[in-house]
Amino acid sequence: MTYLIIGILISFILYPIFSAKAQLDKDNKEKPYTTVTILMAMAIFLSIILSIAIALNADMPASIGHGGFMYIIGPGFYGILVLILYLVSVGVRPEWKFVSGLACILINISIGFYYFI
């Protein structure tokens, strides 16, 4: 069941990425905040949810207590920081908005795998 949720989240992440790539050619690359930025921010937000879902699949001992919240708080906190970093980097370098969005998505997913291990 959890793999089904992860698969659905991956498909929801891929849709904004492909839509942003299609609109990147039509979009003005000099403007910082456009529809490509919104689509990539949506994909980054969905990758935060995916990283939390991946982290929650980790083997947690029964005696973990309230330490189990770290598997929810950690990827969520770092994911929000990555999202803020993306929005700042788009303001500074608008021509790199697609590439930096893909990098942020990969960073969020790797954070989820870090907590999974």
Q: Where are the domains of the chain?
A: 2-116
Q: Span 71-88, mean pLDDT?
A: 93
**What is the torsion angle, in degrees rounded to the nearest 10, for the CA atoms of residue 22, residue 27, residue 32 and residue 38?**
-40
Report the C-alpha gap between 101 and 42 in whole angstroms.
Answer: 10
Residue 2's pLDDT is: 67
Model pTM score? 0.84
| Model confidence pLDDT, tens digit, residues 88-110 | 999 998 888 889 999 999 999 99
Report the C-alpha gap between 21 and 8 in whole angstroms.
Answer: 20
Report the C-alpha gap between 69 and 7 in whole angstroms.
Answer: 23
| Model confidence pLDDT, tens digit, residues 15-59 | 888 888 888 777 767 778 888 889 999 999 999 999 998 888 887
